[in-house]
Amino acid sequence: MDGPIIHVLKGGLAGLAATVPMTMAMAAMHKLLPDHEQYPLPPRLITENALEKADTDDALPEEHENGLALVNHFAYGAATGATYALGLYAARKQAASSSGVAFGLGVWAASYQAMLPMAGLFPPPEAEPARRNALMITSHIVWGAALGLALQAADGKGEYQNGK
């Protein structure tokens, strides 16, 4: 019988794993954008803006910023995956790709419509081209579906059993 800590760990690992197909989808869709919309993706821009706000943008060599952006991106995926699992545990619900997709869309909305603009780390969706918003929304759908599927498989039976 797993407790909440094990569920949070499973969720964190599932969120980390789900960030792989999300990142692949982002990269593939980014290449399909018109040239003028192929500027860096949000994880890189958010990292640059965070470094600038912390007044440490000169402390890190330029060639390391992509790596830091990738670490930040995967860490956020893991943290939000852990949050998803904890919510499931508290609600005594099983993970599913559909609830993962809904959660992924919620992560996009909370992050891009509220937290990031309020923190001054990324502009609100209306300031971004529609195709780039579609790319990020689709990527969060991919992440959420992968998250739900990973947690379904967490107990080896294809279901995420919440302590039962």
- What are the sequence ranges of the domains in the chain? 4-52+64-155
The whole-chain average pLDDT of the chain stands at 91
Closest C-alpha among 56, 159, 100, 34 to residue 48: 56
Asked whether the predicted pLDDT for residue 159 surpasses 80, the reply is no
Confidence of residue 3 (pLDDT cuts 50, 70, 90): confident
Number of neighbouring beta carbons within 10 Å of residue 39: 12
| pLDDT for the residue numbered 163 | 45
Contacts of 79 (CB under 8 A, 6+ apart): 12, 15
Share of the chain above pLDDT 70, in %: 93
Confidence of residue 36 (pLDDT cuts 50, 70, 90): very high
Confidence of residue 91 (pLDDT cuts 50, 70, 90): confident
| pLDDT for the residue numbered 156 | 60
Confidence of residue 162 (pLDDT cuts 50, 70, 90): very low
Asked whether the predicted pLDDT for residue 63 surpasses 70, the reply is yes
Residue type for 28, please?
Answer: A
| pLDDT for the residue numbered 77 | 98
Asked whether the predicted pLDDT for residue 33 surpasses 90, the reply is yes
Report whether 21 contacts 74 (CB < 8 A).
no
Report whether 83 contacts 18 (CB < 8 A).
no
Burial of 46-65, coded b for 16+ CB within 10 Å and e otherwise, reads bbbbbbeeeeeeeeeeeeeb
DSSP symbol at 23: H
d(CA 43, CA 47): 6
